[in-house]
Structure 1
């Protein structure tokens, strides 16, 4: 079900969990809210999630709405950072067909052997080149 959540210092919801929680909310029926209180513009990754069919709306630099459930579609997105990048990779893998993510080096630096781990779970993915940030 849809929920609203706010990031906060411990014992609140850690800002590092915001992207993965946002992805989970795309599966919930209804409209969920995300409020980021730690970092401004940390919700920008949601623009990338839109590329895979998610119904997301940035209300301002710290607030967004996610309406689900989402049926992911093939898309293309830029990875802005580590946590958001892993989330966008999961969205791309959830979409049927071919999708692209640019900037996977962000994810590789934080998650050892991430591509091999995804392949071990049955993902069909290809590393085309070592990209520089666009």
Structure 2
């Protein structure tokens, strides 16, 4: 009986832990444009970075608070621009190759998860974004 109770308790705790990062079924925030761009290093000793930008049609800044972006196994500390309804951040491309066991989502290379707060509850929404090609991507 103790073994059965222990198994039940473990399953219950694991279920509660996984619910912390449950994606919303319907995205309340409608994405206008989502892009990522690789920024090559200016000098040889630096690393390549990836800039991620999410621009929304519009959202009520009194109801929603944008928190962070989850992209390529990294949580991106993000800058929020509420005037233009956007959030952006950058990551080191080299660190994306390291598998982070604490990363809560399985994402494709062009998928991003936005965490936001509504009524003091943190929610997670997944979006597909496009790669932006710039003049930096063209070999010289």
With normalisation by structure 2, the TM-score equals: 0.28
| More strand, by proportion | 2
Higher radius of gyration, 1 or 2: 2
Q: Identify the structure with bigger relative contact order (alpha carbons < 8 Å, sequence gap 6+).
A: 2
